[in-house]
């Protein structure tokens, strides 16, 4: 059963860099996609998505990691990421979200580092967390493939490619908070794919399902070839032809504001690349919902319970 709402948030560490776009299923079964806007307060975002679609399944793609590297989880004694998530920030995990300022502050219970630049090295994380290489702080779906380079390690919080700060906001302020606040039968409770079940089963039951969607992975799914930096308006405008062609082929209607934004490369103001990636992520999620791309349902129990997976990523493509 197709969801009634598909949404995607390009998720930065600052409020200005968190952009949301979505598509609603119409009475004829087709989706209409809308132009990106601010994602707003992460504490209320899930409730606002549910207000857009009071009944029926919702697929919400987020551009930050869901899951933990297996090697770290084994050392920490973690066997279920979804069950752990609402506990982070309390008890044993009281300081989990406190980014370490010095290498001596890094620990299994306080793994994010560094708070600020100045002599910080990934080797500090490797040593303090008992790893042998930085790849042990990546999940299998984070490793390099033929289509893209390796993702940044989850706990690293420095540089343009880091994902640690975005993960902190997403886990602490949105998903962890909501899984504590809402009962599992509440329509606003976030069910996590693939941890809580198969995508079709979760959506068919009318749940709000959150999945990791990585725009950089979606580029080749949608036929996008970036010829230059996505921070440049002209590069985004050139890539827009592929987005418009995909929407036409998939039968997804675009509201006029979104159609203009795509054709115009999402404008020349700062943050156009965030709106571009929000739209790419939405189309990538719709690509799966519409059956044009397999979800990549993992059968491996470790992936399903601990590491997680990127929606639409083919299985068996990582080393």
Instruction: Give the closest residue to 6 by CA, choosing from 210, 291, 233, 231.
Output: 210
In the structure encoding, which two tokens stand for residue 104, read together?
């001596």
pLDDT tens readout for residues 228-277: 999 999 999 999 999 999 999 999 999 999 999 999 999 999 999 999 99
Distance CA(49)–CA(6), nearest Å, equals: 9
Q: What pLDDT, on a 0 to 100 scale, did the predictor assign at position 318?
A: 39
Distance CA(29)–CA(4), nearest Å, equals: 9
Distance CA(254)–CA(248), nearest Å, equals: 9
Residues 61 and 186 in one domain: yes
Total count of domains within the chain: 2
Residues of the chain with pLDDT under 70: 1, 315-319
Q: Is 75 left (phi over 0), alpha (psi -120 to 50) or beta?
A: alpha
Could you list the residue range(s) of the whole structural domain that residue 150 is in? 70-167
Quote the pTM value: 0.96
Pairing verdict, β 19-25 and 5-10: antiparallel
Please name the residues in contact with 186: beta carbons below 8 A apart, sequence gap of 6 or more: none
Pairing verdict, β 58-62 and 208-212: parallel
Distance CA(194)–CA(198), nearest Å, equals: 6
Residues 267 and 297 in one domain: yes
Residues 49 and 142 in one domain: no
**Are the CB atoms for 36 and 89 separated by under 8 Å?**
no
Residues 295 and 187 in one domain: yes
Residues 228 and 271 in one domain: yes
Pairing verdict, β 5-10 and 190-192: unpaired
Bond before 194 cis per omega within 30 degrees: yes
Q: At 193, is the secondary structure helix, strand, or coil?
A: coil
Pairing verdict, β 253-254 and 208-212: unpaired
Last residue of some domain: 167, 192, 216?
167
**Are the CB atoms for 283 and 222 separated by under 8 Å?**
yes
Residues 257 and 236 in one domain: yes
Residues 55 and 41 in one domain: yes
Q: What pLDDT, on a 0 to 100 scale, did the predictor assign at position 317?
A: 44
Residues 222 and 276 in one domain: yes
Length of the chain: 319
């Amino acid at each position: 059963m197709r969801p009634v709402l598909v949404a995607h948030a390009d998720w930065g560490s600052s409020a200005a860099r968190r952009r949301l776009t979505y598509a609603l299923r119409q009475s004829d079964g087709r989706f209409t996609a809308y132009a990106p806007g601010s994602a707003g307060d992460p504490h209320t975002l899930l409730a606002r998505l549910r207000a857009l679609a009071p009944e029926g399944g919702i697929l919400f793609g987020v551009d930050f990691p869901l899951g933990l590297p297996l090697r770290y989880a084994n050392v920490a004694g973690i066997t279920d990421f979804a069950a752990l998530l609402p506990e982070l920030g309390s008890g044993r995990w009281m300081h989990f979200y406190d980014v370490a300022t010095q290498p001596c502050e890094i620990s299994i219970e306080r793994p994010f580092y560094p708070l600020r630049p100045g002599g910080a090295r990934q080797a500090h994380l490797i040593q303090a967390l008992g790893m042998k290489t930085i790849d042990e702080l990546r999940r299998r779906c984070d490793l390099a493939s033929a289509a893209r380079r390796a993702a940044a390690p989850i706990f690293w919080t420095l540089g343009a490619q880091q994902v640690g700060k975005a993960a902190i906001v997403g886990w602490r302020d949105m998903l962890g908070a909501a899984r504590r606040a809402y009962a599992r039968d509440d329509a606003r409770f976030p069910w996590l794919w693939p941890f809580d079940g198969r995508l079709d089963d979760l959506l068919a039951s009318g749940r709000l399902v959150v999945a990791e969607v990585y725009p950089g992975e979606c580029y080749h799914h949608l036929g996008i070839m970036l010829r230059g930096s996505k921070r440049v308006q002209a590069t985004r405008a050139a890539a827009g032809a592929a987005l418009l062609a995909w929407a036409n082929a998939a039968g997804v209607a675009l509201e006029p504001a979104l159609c203009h934004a795509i054709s115009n490369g999402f404008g020349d103001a700062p943050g156009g690349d965030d709106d571009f990636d929000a739209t790419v992520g939405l189309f990538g999620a719709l690509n799966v919902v519409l059956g044009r791309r397999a979800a990549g349902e993992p059968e491996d129990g470790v992936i399903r319970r601990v590491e997680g997976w990127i929606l639409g990523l083919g299985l068996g493509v990582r080393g």
